[in-house]
Amino acid sequence: MSIGPDPCGPQINRREFVLSVLSTAAVSGGAGQARAQNQAQNQAQNQADAAPDTHAGSVPMSVVVNGEPHSLAVDPRTSALDLLRERLALTGAKKGCDHGQCGACTIHVDGRRVLACLTPAVQLDGRRVDTIEGLAGPGGGLHPMQQAFIDHDALQCGYCTPGQIMAAIACVREGNAGSPERIQEYMSGNLCRCGAYNGILAAVQQAAGQMGEA
């Protein structure tokens, strides 16, 4: 191909023509790359917005908490306590030690006493969980154990109280409230920094009679 002189316009030689074509291609190629990059970024952002707020390795699970079914994906490293407190906004179970030593996180799983801080959330899959928030009756009436704690001043700061009450109900239901010694033994995993142990013992004895399960 040869570019001859144009008497009607500016003259251009072959070298200038090739350079102009290459520079045009480079500019349009750069714009195409930028456009593709923008599209990829927009797509990633849209996907991030649509995705649930979970870890990449999350696993699906279903659990019924206080009678309410939940289907959700959880990081396998999440404890049942963190699931309740941080995902389901049920902060009644307390994080005292987070090491299974204080009982503040006590909940019921299928009716049995469990330390939520030591229980992986994924182990709740298909289970029924009850927390302190679910104890009151439909009309807001207190559970006999809650009322007994009030009647006997079985709390001071109250931080240990949800765990104490959940453990105390399990104590009665499992037939361990027949004597002060058995109650104290069963409840020994629930620590109270305020030292409300006498009131707690009296409360468990009162509620045991009312629950009719001692």
Which segment (4-12, 61-69, 151-159, 169-177) binds ligand FES by CB under 6 A?
151-159
Contact residue for ligand FES among 27, 188, 194, 198 (CB under 6 A):
194
The residue to which tokens 């995902």 are assigned: 87
| Beta pairing class for 128-130 and 59-65 | parallel
Kindly state whether residue 159 participates in binding ligand FES, applying the rule CB under 6 A. Answer: yes
3-class secondary-structure state, position 134: helix
Under the binding rule (CB under 6 A), the answer on residue 103 touching ligand FES is yes
Residues between 51 and 90 that touch ligand FES (CB under 6 A) = none
Choose between 44 and 157: whose C-beta lies nearer to ligand FES. Answer: 157
Stated as kind and residue range, the H or E segment containing 25 is helix 14-50
Cα 125 from chain centroid? 13
CB 118 within 8 A of CB 79: yes
105 scored as a contact of ligand FES (CB under 6 A): yes
Residue 102 within binding range of ligand FES, rule CB under 6 A: yes
Q: Is 74 helix (H, G, I), strand (E, B) or coil?
A: strand
Write out the residues near ligand FES by the rule CB under 6 A: 95-98, 100-105, 115, 117, 155-161, 192-194, 196
